[in-house]
Amino acid sequence: MELSTIGVVGLGQMGLGMASSLLRAGFTVLGHDISPARQEAARAAGIAVAAAQQEVLAQADALVFSLPYARDVEAVATAPGGLLARPGRRVVLIDTSTSDPVTTRRLAARLEAAGHGLLDAPVSGGPAGAAAGSLTMMVGGTAGDLAAVRPVLEAMAAKLVHVGASGAGNIAKLVNNMLVAAHLVTAREALRLSEAAGLPAAEALAVINAATGRSAATEVMVPRWVLPGGFDSGFTAGLMRKDVRLAAELAEAVGLDLPLAALVQRLWAEEASALPDAADFTRMADYRAAEEAPHG
């Protein structure tokens, strides 16, 4: 498969970072975003921007989608006159969004019937990882499609994990983010307890991160974004709420009762007034604001 022009649909912080990494790796990148501001940011970064998404779907040798919701991915991929109507050689769509496996598998079947492929490849690493090309990707789909676009994936990610067939990447991401959502809650409560008992949070973290209580929340998120008060990881509370909801829906679909996961989902939902969707998701671990939250 010739891989010269890579289309990127969705030029938010993640999409633009991945587009820049692809450009740096030597690919020709053609992007599209419905936001004029994001289009301008992409042009400033040297990315060619198409006036319409159909241009990207028609011209790209491979596609990268970075969109908020599964419905957006499906709508763009199946838009009239777009990828489904494209004749000729196979095009692989790399969906880096976090979606639900049911939508992913349905879309994969539609694309396969039209002669194209889909990899669900949600990412971990945030905007900084996207810009540096150092993301972790958990990939679902066929080994053949993965091999065909491996150079594209390797330009964006430092670590690729092929976890299984279509939908498996999204299952892995939902399981991961369910844990992250819980870890942020428990980190906040642990640090709040430490402060109330007379041990400063920074001192408690030094012990936690050298012992068995550590997690990415305590090792990375709290030191980088919570303690300094920056809260600028680039991932919103609204997106985390979406992922927690999708994980809960997946548990229900497979017939599992997960009481702790259900509690975490409820806590994230109930704190919407103190932690609006637009806020950075790391604010959930802000132990200093815990007194104002409904569930300490």
What homologous superfamily does CATH list for 5-164?
NAD(P)-binding Rossmann-like Domain (3.40.50.720)
Catalytic one among 86, 162, 173, 192? 173
At 2 the pLDDT is 85
pLDDT at 296: 40
Domain ranges of the chain: 5-164, 171-292
Query: Residue range 10-33: average pLDDT?
Result: 97
Arithmetic mean of pLDDT, 122-147: 96
Q: Quickly state the pLDDT bin for 89 (edges 50, 70, 90).
A: confident
Task: Examine the pLDDT at 140 and tell me if it is beyond 70.
Answer: yes
Least confident of 21-30, 80-89, 101-110: 80-89
CATH for 171-292, options being 1.10.1040.10, 3.30.565.10, 1.10.10.10, 3.50.50.60: 1.10.1040.10
CA dist list (Å): 286 to 156, 173, 189, 294: 31, 24, 9, 13
Is residue 173 flagged as an active site residue?
Answer: yes
pTM here is 0.90
Report the alpha-carbon distance of residue 91 to residue 145 in Å, rounded: 9
pLDDT band of residue 81 (cuts 50, 70, 90) is confident
Residue 82 clears pLDDT 70, i.e. is over it: yes
Domains 5-164 and 171-292 equal at CATH topology level: no
